[in-house]
Structure 1
Amino acid sequence: MVCDLNSDLGESFGPWPMGDDVAMLDIVSSANIACGFHAGDPAGILRTIKAAVERNIAIGAHVGYRDLAGFGRRNMEPTSEELFGDVIYQIGALKGLAAAAKAKVTYVKPHGALYNTIAHNQRQADDVIRAIKAIDPELVLLALAGAPVVEQARAAGLTVVEEVFADRAYTADGQLVSRTQPGAVVHDVNEVASRALAMARDGVVKSIDGQTIKLNAQSICVHGDSPNAVALARTVRQAFDAAGLRIEPFAPAI
């Protein structure tokens, strides 16, 4: 059995570090790399791309709202014209940096509030989908498993991979628990590994209120900005290895 393991990387900004990209790239198979709007600066993003290339890790554009101060986690209502342009701009920036590193961007994963908004907001989802198709229709969209955006993007002609989160709590209807709520982020390494295994092997996860939810786990995320992110990802990888699950990218690593 094969599953992708991804993480959000390239989020350091100047002298302010965020996570340990090099250590995470030794564990995951796909890297969602910040594009400068919610986090990341060009030099740091390029370093992360080069480190991913050295390890044959797939590279995705982690696009977000124009919100450095809020790390892209604040809800926003850009116009369609603004969001369309912002997504193209971010993908284009990452494509340019990747080209300089002899690499290729193969997928897009929206970040934070944008990710959660387009999961159910048809208008903003359409803006993001149209932007991806406008710049490169071959790009894969990484989206919340089971959310309406999955079928919306597929109907528009995009390839979509459904994503689940080993280190985030779920509501009974398959949405992520808001980070403003207690228990929204799972920090225990063994619990995260157990959840990841259940997602990959059985397509299930326990909701925050104890219900069993069915999810199509084509890619599993472990956030790179958690304080113990490397330990979480490493424990998940070890659990997968012990269970005979191969970790491979869903999109080509170039």
Structure 2
Amino acid sequence: MFAEERQAEIARLVGATRRVSGADLARRFAVTMETIRRDLAALESEGVLRRVHGGAVSLARTDSVEQSLDTRETLKTPAKRRIAAAALEYLEFMEATSVALDAGSTVETLADALASRQANPADQQLLVMTHALHVAGRLADQPEILLELVGGRVRTLTWAASGVFTAEQYSRYRCDIAFLGCNGVAAGFGFSTPELPEAAVKTAIVNSARKVVVLCDAEKHDHENFARFATFAQVDVLITDAAPAGRLARALEDGGVEVIVA
């Protein structure tokens, strides 16, 4: 097969599946990884795809572009609801009294589940800290929850505070558990998000918590974004909807991350 034919087929595969693995492509076309890297570089230069660690993704993906609040509202998929339900179960099992909730659609889905749960009146009130207005709005009228709103400059796109001031406020706390969302998790890089101000806040949350739990659907496995906010060694639990595979699975195991598949 000529290079042009192979690249055309790779472009078709990326368009159909939104993501391709370099190793899978090498096996499929019986060529070396170096040949596949050249093919992907050529297709990237033509604006067909974007190279990521281990392969390439369609430019239709939004890994490096944040989504607006209204857009994310439509992304509360059954998978994210399962992840949120497992996160709530983990929270209740740990009997935590203080929790930090990050921004993001999966964490917001957890806030929905938290607001809908049948709390025991005899239970101690749960202190919830968050910098996300949409998460706070889900919990503000819940009598069994003490809500601590972490301030800062709110971004219109995300309805969440971000930047150094917000991160500094989190550094004053020590909560039992933090639940964070992410835009990507990849071996060799860790947990990441597109923007530095959000990464700074997430890192501060990670450093403030006794237990760190990341909620991440399988579409984000093996993806790298611009800014890392946590290494594998800094995360205690990953709750996802499909078991990680390959290098990512090994990296999570080596980092001591417990994986819960919802």
Asked if TM exceeds 0.5, the reply is no
Structure with max Cα Rg: 2
* TM-score computed with the length of structure 2 as normaliser: 0.30
Q: Which has the higher strand share?
A: 2
Q: Which has the higher contact order (CA 8 A, sep 6+)?
A: 1
